[in-house]
Structure 1
């Protein structure tokens, strides 16, 4: 009998280069590189929008085989200024990726991301398919109105987590609760600093509680990085309340521009933020994509089954891309 061992993250590594790249008169992007400078370029796109990079994203990839590129998207994390909503939209983020690629002298790259990072990876691929080698995507989110309604209105995830959803609504008046997304955007753009802090914590807590089936009893004490919570809440609300291009099903309608490229798609069966049927719909239109449903995983990229699947996917893709070079 063959026993397959579960994979853990690669050992911690430090970047060999960190820099800030100016992309317009206002924004500078934090960029880091680690691993093998001569390896296959891989760019990992973080979620949110607004969550910023985790050093653990480096650890999905074999540092001997990959040139690992992480960056904080404009307006969040270590990018400057942060948080910032000015000139911050999907076309700008796609353009930022292209500028980073050009700045680093990369011809083509493996593009990876989870949740909003998967959204952004698809948007970049659709705009620049000739610059992508392949994709590894986790927790598919296409930004449609149905997905936003699932997350923020009472007939979706709220039915599974009614007490947590009530906490999410608690900072809103009865009238504001009729349109939580727009109401949160108003609170988060308030001049009242206390109101903004309360709203950002409540927004971030709702998502944290939905993200993992391995970690329970998450409360406000788990929000230890107020800057991250503020970036996540302000930028997510800004994008989702003004997501007309995405909510019109733009990504799925344009997916034929990347379907010639190989993709490994990972999705937790119990993902309560990004629904599995969305990944299933996407894969049905993508003949070169392979969907792997993780039977005991939720949304987080750092649950044990997701770590195992992502590291194995990265190894599989490294071997495939090496073969393509020969």
Structure 2
């Protein structure tokens, strides 16, 4: 079977949001929910390639404010709790009792929160690039003394070039808050480009090459930058260390944690800390790999994880 979806739609809520979803693979196969990263990244063009589509019923959806969900770039009623409610509503809409959750980066945050919220609805978790939404995770990604800035100082300098006194995480976030909340669309677009290019620069150990400098921000750049800023500014709408404190509720749920040992977007320590608190998980720290699912060794590990999950059913 091809990776082309056989059905898609918009799931309407009472708060004005309409969440885009699409179905691929075998309608009678093992249901799996794909939870994309960002926030704001939307579904990639190759996300079904990690699955045997003769065995899996693949459900992809785009989170509020991005991709084909409506309204685009809306921050109203756009919180972690809203996204978790959308996941529950989508499962009920599709009459699915239990499903595998497959998430990357921010998608791991949502998958873990959904699993501790309703563990009886989750048959397993396959997670790539763990993001626990702790203060140390935000600083690792954005702070001048964070892990990413220390390893990619040249790219970080481009990211902060418009900031008057970029001496702290607070100062960097305050600058982007001022720009993204402001009325100057040109500055907003330029800031979105810088934010997007910063993340692209640090996502892979082996860069695909010099990035083209776009004249204006396209929709993916805007949604990724603005929604990541919105969620980080609000500490992802959860309490500090909430996921690790609730990890005991994952007991009995089999999981595969796949994390690049050289990941500068999400701390490898977070993956290890989660594994320590989740006995039913298996941790794979991939040597020589970074954050992106496009890293060959990570892509191979993800495909192997989905294959093994089906074999054990």
TM-score in terms of structure 1 length: 0.91
The aligned residue for residue 218 of structure 2 is 226
1:259 aligns to 2:251 (yes or no): yes
Give the 3-state SS of the residue equivalent to 1:55 in structure 2: coil
- Identify which of 97, 100, 121 aligns with 2:90: 100
Q: 1:108 to 1:64 in 2, by over 3 A?
A: same
Is the CA contact (8 Å cut-off) linking 1:200 and 1:234 kept in structure 2?
yes
The aligned residue for residue 46 of structure 1 is 36
Q: How many residues align?
A: 311
Deviation beyond 4 Å, 4+ runs, structure 1: 175-178, 222-225
- Identify which of 62, 73, 76 aligns with 1:83: 73
**1:54-65 correspondence runs (5 A):** 54-65=44-55
Can you give the 5+ residue segments of structure 1 that lack an aligned partner in the other structure?
Answer: 1-10, 322-326
1:191 aligns to 2:205 (yes or no): no
Which string of whole-angstrom CA distances, capped at 9 and with x for unpartnered residues, describes residues 262-319 of structure 1? Answer: 0001001111111111100100111000001111211001111111100000000111
TM-score in terms of structure 2 length: 0.95
CA distance in 1, matches of 2:181, 2:222: 11
Give the 3-state SS of the residue equivalent to 1:170 in structure 2: coil
Q: 1:34 to 1:244 in 2, by over 3 A?
A: closer
CA distance in 2, matches of 1:218, 1:120: 32
Following TM superposition, by how much is the alpha carbon of 1:70 offset from its aligned partner in structure 2, in angstroms? 0.4
Give the 3-state SS of the residue equivalent to 1:179 in structure 2: helix
Is the CA contact (8 Å cut-off) linking 1:47 and 1:115 kept in structure 2?
yes
Can you give the 5+ residue segments of structure 2 that lack an aligned partner in the other structure?
Answer: none
Is the CA contact (8 Å cut-off) linking 1:164 and 1:206 kept in structure 2?
yes
Q: 1:25 to 1:269 in 2, by over 3 A?
A: same
The aligned residue for residue 268 of structure 1 is 260
- Identify which of 242, 256, 260 aligns with 1:250: 242
Q: 1:18 to 1:224 in 2, by over 3 A?
A: farther
